Amino acid sequence: MTNRSVIIDTDPGLDDAIAVLFVFGSERFNVLGLATVAGNIGIERTTANAASLATLMGRGDVAIARGANAPLVRNAIDEVAIHGNDGLGGVTLAPGQNPVTAPAHLWMAEQLRAAPAGSIDILALGPLTNLALLIQHDPEAARRIGRVIAMGGAIVEKGNVGPRSEFNFAVDPEAAEMVFGFGFDLTLIPLDVTRKVRADEGYVASFNGTLHGDVAAKLLEAYFLDGRQSRPLHDPCVMLYALEPEIFGIEELTIALDLTDDPGALVVSNAGVPLKVAMTVDVQKTLDLLHSGFVS
């Protein structure tokens, strides 16, 4: 897929920031806007970070839409311990433009109603609260979405919040359940594949020759776990799947969500809904494709 119109629903966040920079650098997407959500860190910081990323890339034409500041019904959790108080591991970016006036879910509805049905995809990198609010407030607009590609969940892998729950869905499992059941053309990119995609020192050193490549290298260094290898590159996998889905092995699984014992955990169950789930990945091809977005 090339030059597809997309809205990036994001909570930057180190790996979110790398994913957003890749999208801009690859020039293979028509980015309509960045819708922000509280997740890795609070909404003020995720919105400021999204704006800074767009400004870095000279993309003042891309709308910044401030989204949900809390889950639908639960208390917020965050990943400040991983991403830092600024969400970017101490990597400093210049301030960006102000967000649009409308909240993200209403701004998304405006874009969807103004475009041909099915022509806009949502690349969801954080909790699914904005999409749930869109469904609640304007289901007809939500039905005009082409595809939703969402990073989240775990099938065989253990969780990173609870025993089996992954952060994005654990933050707002009620929102995820609503999105799962709405009938979107929805593909999940879970920990089962994202944990396999990591950067090492040599890979990071090869990001040179572009401004955003230099920034991405700093973000990756801040995301290193032990000085030798990064944490999993969760969110970039969404963008890579959007461009070259054949890199990933997709299975259709019937998925339900645990809302009580381990909130956000995915359960393969006849009581669930059929979803496309990435279960395998060609790691070298993902890293090569990601690299292509950061070099001149």
Task: Label residue 194 exposed, middle or buried (CB < 10 Å: 0-12, 13-18, 19+).
Answer: buried
List residues bridging with 64 in a β-sheet.
Answer: 34
Q: What count of residues does the chain have?
A: 296
Token pair belonging to 159: 């969780």
Cβ 86 vs Cβ 78: under 8 Å? no
pLDDT at 172: 98
pLDDT at 192: 98
Choose, from 83, 105, 234, 291, the residue flagged as catalytic: 234
* 3-state DSSP assignment of residue 111: helix
Count of structural domains within the chain: 1
The parent domain of residue 117 ranges over 4-292
Low-confidence residues of the chain: pLDDT under 50: none
The amino acid at residue 22 is: F
pLDDT at 2: 57
Express each pLDDT in 54-67 by its tens digit.
999 999 999 999 99
CATH number at residue 193: 3.90.245.10
Element (H, E) at 145: strand 145-151
pLDDT at 227: 72
pLDDT at 225: 78
Distance CA 95, CA 51 (A): 7
Token pair belonging to 292: 């292509």
Query: 212 an active-site residue?
Result: no
> Which strands, in side-by-side order, build the sheet including 4-10?
63-65, 29-36, 4-10, 120-124, 145-151, 186-189, 273-281, 248-257, 266-268
pLDDT at 243: 96
214: left (phi over 0), alpha (psi -120 to 50) or beta: alpha
Planar angle of CA 124, 129, 133, nearest 5 degrees: 115
Element (H, E) at 154: none
User: For residue 280, how many C-alpha atoms fall within 13 Å in the half-sphere facing its CB?
Assistant: 6
List residues bridging with 6 in a β-sheet.
Answer: 31, 121
Alpha helices in the chain (DSSP H): 14-26, 43-56, 80-83, 104-114, 129-137, 139-142, 167-171, 173-181, 191-194, 201-205, 211-222, 236-243, 283-292
Terminal C-alpha separation, the chain: 21
Token pair belonging to 156: 């065989």
For 201, other C-beta atoms within 10 Å of its C-beta total 14
Cβ 257 vs Cβ 173: under 8 Å? yes
